[in-house]
Structure 1
């Protein structure tokens, strides 16, 4: 039996590295439309864009998306999702999938996967995904978030730092990853239950979340469990910078 869920796509206009990011043109469409179309190809019962900007709202309405205007002042995309879940009057056990608005190449299969994983793990507050990390440069890149899980697939922690630290191998500048250590990169897609989203907002940010700039650490700080599985189809990297935009335009057949 398929899992019932709603996709919410947070889309902010402000971005320090790429202002107006959701409206950047890719192959004749705004980026947010590519994300929305891929989410619509998932098994979601509803796909909603949540934005803080009238320009994004109008663009979404012009191509037929279900879009809502949210408050500007949100600490995270999860806080924005909580506002939408409340506005849609979702039941406390309804599953909501957070698909980032800068992921125009997100595979629909991973959207279905993360929703199904949460449904299959009632003890988890959040489900998310990862993929094997195979380059030492990525391990030491703070923009690549690392995740460490226990034997049952539940997150122990997330960090921008190399995790775990191979004491003997990393004494000098490493040229390769140590053998036998399953390093994993976190993929930023999440599934939650609507009731948990309300709790998440009520808690407010914690010092650990603020230090790493990783909002999922708020859940771990409050003792909640996060289930992590390897993505059935690892998504290409999203769009954070002008260089990323050029790359994605090339992949989608648009001029750079």
Structure 2
């Protein structure tokens, strides 16, 4: 079994208009994302969008393009439309690569796709990395994940989990894992996930992935072999990522 990559992309970005088409090292941001996806083991790479400008950029970068509705509230819903339109098999694995992650490592795309191939009972897969900074462990903007011995996610939270009772969380190094927001789905699981209402846990924590627990969709977790570079949300992020792409000595 293999996997495909779908890159959901839209122009509407509040903090950075036309974000995925902004130039980075002489190319649109989307081109860098497509290049990483095309270098992975994916059998197909598809840009899912409602924008003809994004569609043109995706095709120039070598990806397929699937036009979607413009009313999707999140990337997973946009991908759900694509897998339905393309009539993909229920057991097909789809990796969601975000269009604003131009420094996404190829190896991480492959890892997440492979994690779902290796766990036939799971509906989803995602990635984690050890937390080594105590400040990160208590930061609610950094999502934590606790996994079982078999590698399945048990819970995601903005709270510091697991709680180290003996020290009152004063000794946390090596205990916590940060969740990395890259997902793989089986098509059947993605359709269920997208069609389901927002769950109570999801609403409380403001974490979409918690819906999977109410649906009893197992989430296979893999520890990232290489961390993604910073994503792009603001003009300052764009400048910082451009410098990384252009290499040492860039102004």
Scaled by the length of structure 2, what TM-score is found? 0.91
Partner of 2:100: 102
Q: 2:139 aligns with which of 132, 138, 141?
A: 141
Q: Deviations along 1:75-119, whole A, 9 cap, x unmatched?
A: 321111111111121111111111111111111111111111101
Shift of 1:197: 1.3
Q: How big is the alpha-carbon RMSD for the aligned residues of Structure 1 and Structure 2?
A: 2.0
CA–CA distance in 1 between the matches of 2:205 and 2:49? 25
Q: Deviations along 1:162-187, whole A, 9 cap, x unmatched?
A: 2234456558xxxxx61565211111
Q: Is the 8 Å Cα contact of residues 119 and 220 (structure 2) preserved in structure 1? A: yes
Aligned residue runs from structure 1 range 1-256, under 5 A: 3-166=1-164, 169=167, 178-179=171-172, 181-253=174-246
SS for the counterpart of 1:14 is coil
**Structure 1 residues 208 and 15 mapped into 2: Cα distance closer, same or farther (>3 Å)?**
farther
SS for the counterpart of 2:95 is strand
Deviates more, 1:49-58 or 1:25-34: 49-58
Structure 2, unaligned runs of 5 or more:
none
Deviates more, 1:12-21 or 1:85-94: 12-21
Shift of 1:18: 1.9
Structure 1 ranges of 4+ moved more than 6 A: none
Scaled by the length of structure 1, what TM-score is found? 0.89
Deviates more, 1:203-212 or 1:159-168: 159-168
CA–CA distance in 2 between the matches of 1:64 and 1:249? 21
Structure 1, unaligned runs of 5 or more:
172-176
Q: Is the 8 Å Cα contact of residues 76 and 215 (structure 1) preserved in structure 2? A: no
Q: Is the 8 Å Cα contact of residues 149 and 155 (structure 1) preserved in structure 2? A: yes
SS for the counterpart of 2:182 is strand
SS for the counterpart of 1:224 is coil
SS for the counterpart of 1:252 is helix
SS for the counterpart of 2:246 is coil
Deviates more, 1:136-145 or 1:153-162: 136-145
Q: Is the 8 Å Cα contact of residues 193 and 215 (structure 2) preserved in structure 1? A: no
